[in-house]
Structure 1
Amino acid sequence: MRRLILVAVTALLASCASRQPLVVKQSTLRDTVVDFSQDPMIRGEKLRRLHGAIGVNEQAQRLGQYYTVIWNDEAVGTPAEIVFEYQQGATGSRVKKQTRTFDPSATTGQTEFSIIGDNYTKGGKVLAWRISLHRGGREIASQRSYLWQ
């Protein structure tokens, strides 16, 4: 009986553990050819990104890099803001920025940043990036690539 109680308490505490405030998932779509001998997860991601693109030109506009951001911040009252800063191969040291804002009552969310189409083909691939979560003018958490300075 003690063992059962110990297992139940451990499971309860593990389920109550706080989540990471910021998780970044990256994916790159390099070509439009769907190879059914590929890993099913990679194939599924490629099919999801190409879904709805009818012609070859539309599919080519989907090539590039995608960053999915999952955030968690229990504070409320001011809008949450996700800021994506990045440098591309053809733009030198210039830092580009994209921003997403969420409702003040939101405590969790998911958003996606994409460098695709002409931005990807002319600007080049993303070499360094930084994604940060802000609320009330204060940085809550951030993730960055190895090359970000």
Structure 2
Amino acid sequence: GAVTGLDQHQRFGDYFDFFWRVKRTADVTVRLEYRQEKLHEHTQAQEITYKDVRGTHRTEFKVIGDDYFDDGRVMAWRCVLIANGRIVAENRSFLWE
């Protein structure tokens, strides 16, 4: 667990969990695009890639610690599921444009 104040500081922020399913074996990339409070319209992204996967999975993204304290809360986000190089699904927050 987070014992010290520094440990707690490094874990503070926004966490995102996305559940997804692929029916046929594919190379899959889950990409979270997001905008933070202090960066205004600047979009950042995190990606996690899976090789030859099939079935139901969970992907977790974190915007925590210094990234969170320096740039602020995540104000808008979009998550895309890319299978074999093509976007096959998307989920977005209400504020994403």
- Give TM-score scaled by structure 2 length: 0.93
Structure 2 residue runs without a partner (length 5+): none
- Structure 2 counterpart of 1:28: none
SS, match of residue 120 in structure 1: helix
Task: Give 1:123 shift.
Answer: 0.6
Structure 1 residue runs without a partner (length 5+): 1-51
Which one has the bigger strand percentage?
A: 2
Structure with bigger RCO (C-alpha 8 Å, 6+ apart):
2
Bigger radius of gyration: 1
Number of residue pairs the alignment of both structures matches? 97
- Structure 1 counterpart of 2:49: 101
- Give TM-score scaled by structure 1 length: 0.62
Q: Percent identity among equivalent residues?
A: 35
Runs of 4 or more, structure 1, over 2 Å off, are: 105-108
Q: Deviations over 1:36-77 (max 9, x none)?
A: xxxxxxxxxxxxxxxx2120111121111100111101021x
Q: Is the 8 A contact 1:80 1:106 kept in 2?
A: no
1:122 equivalent to 2:76? Answer no
Q: Is the 8 A contact 2:31 2:80 kept in 1?
A: yes
Aligned-CA RMSD value: 1.0
